[in-house]
Amino acid sequence: MTDRYDELYRSWRWEVPQRYNIAQACCGRWAADRSRFALYWEDESGQTAKYTFWDIQQEANRLSNALAGLGVKRGDRVALILPQRPEMAIAYMAIFQMGAIALPLSHLFGPEALEYRMAFAGASVVFVEPTTIANLWAVKDRLSELKHVIGVGGAQETGVHSYESLVERGNSQFTAVDTAANDPALIIYTSGTTGPPKGALEAHRLLLGNLPGFIYSHDFFPQPGDLFWSPADWAWAGGLMDALLPSWNFGIPILGYRGRFDAEKAYYLLEKYGIRNSFLFPTALKLMMKAVPHPKSRFNISLRSIMSAGESVGVTVIEWAREELGVTINEMFGQTEINYVVGNCQAAWPVKLGSIGRPYPGHHVAIIDDRGAEIPRGELGEIAVKKNHDPVFFLEYWNNPTATREKFIGDWGCTGDQGRMDEDGYLWYQGRSDDVIKASGYRIGPAEIESCLVKHPAVANAAVIGKPDVTRGQIVKAFIVLQPGQAACQTLIDEIQDHVRGRLAPYEYPREIEFIDALPMTTTGKVQRKELRKREEAKLAVEK
C-alpha cells in the first residue's frame, strides 16, 4: 500500500481558536437540524431510547438552568457517578456550557474511592443513579463541600433532587457562557496504575488535541454511515475523549449501553445497530475472540474501523480480527494527561503487527532517557511528548503542583511508559516503567510475552511481572487465567513454557507460572501488574 504518513504528518496545522466550548462543538452547532440523531441507547433489561442533537440540547439547557438555580457557578465542580446512560451525556453538555467543571467518576467506585476524589476536588453537586447512590450515602456526611445530590432513574433518598423533576421545570432557553479554549472543562482522575490517583485538570481545547488521533485511528473518520459504539465507561478518558465527544464533534451518532461487558452481548449490539466504528479494549477483544472464535459464521457485522488501547493488543488478536471481523485494528497509545498521541491508520500507512504505531499528526513524540535526551532508534526508554503548543496536554494536576512538575522533564511530557522506536518511526510499547523486567542484564517488556502466552489454546488471559531473584536480579513470572475446562498441572506448565521458548528469545520465557482465577484490573480494563508484584513481595516476606 502507499505510505502517506510523511505527507499527512507534515501538512497538519493546529487551529485552536481563542474562544471555544466543548458543548457548542459537540451539540450546539448540530442542534438546529432536528432530524440529526445523536444517541441510541439500550440497557440490560432491553429498554431502548433515541435522541437527536436537538433533544440533547433542549434537555441540557433545562438542566443548566436547574443547576444554576441550585447555585452552580462557573468553575464549580459537578460530579457524575453514572454508567453509560443518556442523562450522563446530557449532563456533560449542561456542565460545559455553564463553564462549570465536570468530575466524572466510575459507577464501579466504592465509597472510599468516591470520598477521596470528591473531597479532593471539592465537588458541590453530584449525580447518582440507583446502582451508585448507596456508595455515595456511605460517605456523604464526610463530604463537607457537597451541597446537592441529584438522583437519576429513580435514585431516591431524603434530600435528593429528582433529575426528572428538575429538567421538567427547567427553562429550555439557556445562553451558554463564553469560554476560552484554555479554560478548564473537567477533572479526570488517573486510573492509579502507579501510585495514588491524581486529578488531571483538562481544558476545553483538549478535544481538539484528540481529533487527529481519532480521525486516523478510525481510517479517516467520519465516513458516510458511520455509527460509533464503545463499552468504555464515559467517566474515563477512553470512553469520553476517545468515543462520545469526538463522535459528537463530527455530528455522528453513538450507541450507549448500560450494562456489564459481555462478549455475546457485544456481538449482538454490533449487529443490531449496524455499528461501523468501535473502540474496544484489548481485554474486551480477547474475551470476544475466546467466546466466539468465528463470529462471521454467526453474526452479520459491518464494522469499518476498530481502535484499541490501554494494553498491547498483540499479534494474535490482530490477526483474528482481520480474518473474523474483516478489520485491521488500529492500536493507539495515550493517557489521561496526554491522550491519543500515537497510533496506526491502516488506511494511510502500513500497520506493523505488534507496534502501537507512529506519532499522530500534530504530536511530537520520542523515546528519551531520564535526563530528557532523545535516545537512538531501537533502544528502550521512556515514551515522551513535547509540549510545544499541542492542545492535547492537560493543564495541571488538581491542587498538586509537585506532581505536575514531576510530569515534565523540560518541555517533555513524560508518560511513565517504556518503548522503542524503530528506524521507520514506529513505536513498540513495552509496559509501564515499573513493569520493565531486568533479568540477567536484559531489559524485558511484558507485552510481547503476554501476547505469546495468549496464543496458547489453554490460556484465556495472562500477565507477566519480574519476580526478585538472587542470581538473575529478576526472573519472568507469568500469571495465567485458563480457558474453561482446562486443568492446572505441571505438564501444562511445561507445555506453556516450551510454547514461549520456541517463539521468543531464550531469556523471555516465564521461568515460573502461577494459575489464577482472574487478573487484577483497573476499572478501565488495564491489568494491574503492581498488584501482582505486591503479592509476590508479600509471599517473599513471609518466606523470610
CATH number at residue 515: 3.30.300.30
* pLDDT score of 499: 93
From residue 128, alpha-carbon distances to 30, 136, 241, 243 in Å are 28, 8, 21, 22
Choose the final residue of a domain: 435, 453, 473: 435
Instruction: Judge if 447 and 387 occupy the same domain.
Output: no
* 398: nearest Cα among 167, 109, 201, 157: 201
DSSP category for residue 522 = -
pLDDT in tens, 382-415: 999 999 899 999 999 999 999 999 999 999 999 9
Domain with 477 in it: 436-543
Does residue 211 surpass a pLDDT of 80? yes
Query: 458-502, pLDDT tens digit by residue?
Result: 999 999 999 988 667 789 999 999 999 999 999 999 999 999 988
Examine the pLDDT at 313 and tell me if it is beyond 50: yes
Q: 112: how many CB neighbours lie within 10 A of its CB? A: 11
Q: Select the more confidently predicted residue: 187 or 541.
A: 187
Asked whether residue 309 falls in the same domain as residue 417, the answer is yes
- Residues 393, 456, single domain; the answer is no
Which carries the bigger pLDDT value, residue 382 or residue 525?
A: 382
Residue 392 sits in the same domain as residue 477: no
At 406, phi and psi to the nearest 5? -70, -15
- Domain assignment present for residue 238? The answer is yes
In a domain, 51, yes or no: no
Q: What is the pLDDT of residue 193?
A: 46
Q: What residue type is assigned to position 85 of the chain?
A: R
Domain count across the chain: 2
Q: Within a domain: residue 207?
A: yes
Q: State yes or no: pLDDT of 55 exceeds 50.
A: yes
DSSP string, 422-481: -TTS-EEEEEEGGG-EEETTEEE-HHHHHHHHHTSTTEEEEEEEEEEETTTEEEEEEEEE
**CA–CA separation, 368 and 412 (whole Å):** 9
Kindly state whether residue 15 falls inside one of the protein's structural domains. Answer: no
- Separation of alpha carbons 203 and 187, rounded Å: 9
Residue with cell 498521541: 341
Query: Do 314 and 452 belong to one domain?
Result: no
- Residue 458 corresponds to which cell in the numbers above? 489453554
The rounded distance, in Å, linking the Cα atoms of 342 and 383 is 10
- Where is average pLDDT lowest: 35-39, 511-515, 527-531? 527-531
User: What are φ and ψ of residue 323, in 5° steps?
Assistant: -75, -45
pLDDT for 28 beyond 60: yes
pLDDT at 523: 63
Residues 260, 521: Cα–Cα separation, whole Å: 15
pLDDT at 123: 98
Residue 51 grid cell: 435522541
User: Is residue 264 located within the same domain as residue 390?
Assistant: yes
Is residue 307 over pLDDT 70? yes
Mark whether 288 and 431 lie in a shared domain.
yes
- CATH code of residue 245: 3.40.50.12780
Same domain, yes or no: 453 and 318: no
Residue type at position 125:
V
pLDDT confidence tier of residue 524, bands split at 50, 70 and 90 = low
From 407, 435, 463, the end of a domain falls on 435
Q: Could you tell me the CA-to-CA distances from 67 to 124, 144, 202, 235, 307 in Å, in that order?
A: 11, 19, 21, 20, 36
Q: Are residues 297 and 284 in the same domain?
A: yes
| Average of per-residue pLDDT values in the chain | 93
Looking at residue 510, what is its pLDDT? 95
For residues 417 and 444, state if they share a domain. Answer: no
Tell me: the pLDDT tens digits for 83-119?
999 999 999 999 999 999 999 999 988 888 899 899 9
- Residue range 408-428: mean pLDDT, rounded: 95
Residue 194 has pLDDT above 60, yes or no: no
CA–CA dist 512, 197 (Å, integer): 31
User: Which pLDDT band, with edges at 50, 70 and 90, does 441 fall under?
Assistant: low
Query: Mean pLDDT throughout 228-250?
Result: 96
Q: Are 419 and 537 members of one domain?
A: no
End position of a domain, from candidates 381, 413, 435: 435
Question: Tens digits of per-residue pLDDT, 287-306?
Answer: 899 899 999 999 999 999 99
99 within some domain: no
- pTM, full prediction: 0.83
> 11: which 3 cell numbers?
501538512
The answer on pLDDT for 192 being more than 60 is no
Instruction: Establish if 532 belongs to a structural domain.
Output: yes
**Tell me: the pLDDT tens digits for 116-147?**
899 999 999 999 999 999 999 999 999 999 99
User: How far is the C-alpha of 323 from the C-alpha of 328, rounded, in Å?
Assistant: 9
Whether 332 and 403 map to the same domain: the answer is yes
In a domain, 63, yes or no: no
Percentage of the chain lying above the pLDDT 70 cut: 97
The confidence score (pLDDT) of residue 191 equals: 61
Q: Is residue 31 part of a domain?
A: no
Report the residue count for the chain. 544
Q: Where are the beta strands (DSSP E) in 277-380?
A: 277-279, 305-308, 330-333, 342-343, 358-359, 365-368
